[in-house]
Amino acid sequence: MLGLNLIPPMVRTALAMLIVGGLVGFVGTAFTTTLVADSGILGGGGESPDAHKYMIAMLKREADNLSQLRPASGVVTRAIEQQSASQQSGTDVKPLTLTYLGGSSSGRISVHIYALEVQGGGRYDFFPVALTLVGGKVVRIE
């Protein structure tokens, strides 16, 4: 079978162990690295639950949830936000993917960056979104 009989059994076993061990090591390292990076064990902090909730509420156009995740504002500001959210719901933009790229925090201030892919009008657009949070509330979106 493909000349494998010409290789001594001891060498075949050693080669097989090297290949399998390399694959298991690669998968184990990739899994562990991802797990450590997402958990914030080494100081990265990972994705903020408040930032994640805000992005999901923004994509679903849930004006009530968005206002809960922002600092307290006046009645007029909230009315304008809800009106703009209801006007945007008529558009045919469909979010496809949301990817957390990373973030950093210093004290109560944190910045989280996402990549968002949307489909609208027969086009696919891909753009970054940066959220600035102070004390768990979204204060700026870029």
Q: Model confidence over 43-83: pLDDT tens digits?
A: 556 788 888 888 888 887 776 666 666 665 555 555 665 55
For the chain, give every domain's residue range. Answer: 4-39, 49-141
Predicted confidence (pLDDT) at residue 96 exceeds the cutoff of 60: yes
Residue 74 exposure: Cα atoms within 13 Å on the Cβ side: 3
Q: How far apart are CA 13 and CA 111, in angstroms?
A: 51
Model-wide pTM > 0.85: no
Tokens of 69: 């995740």
CA–CA separation, 92 and 118 (whole Å): 10
pLDDT of res. 61: 73
Q: In whole angstroms, give the CA distance from residue 43 to residue 121.
A: 42
- Which CATH number describes the domain made up of 49-141? 3.10.450.50
Cα 57 to the center of its chain, rounded Å: 14
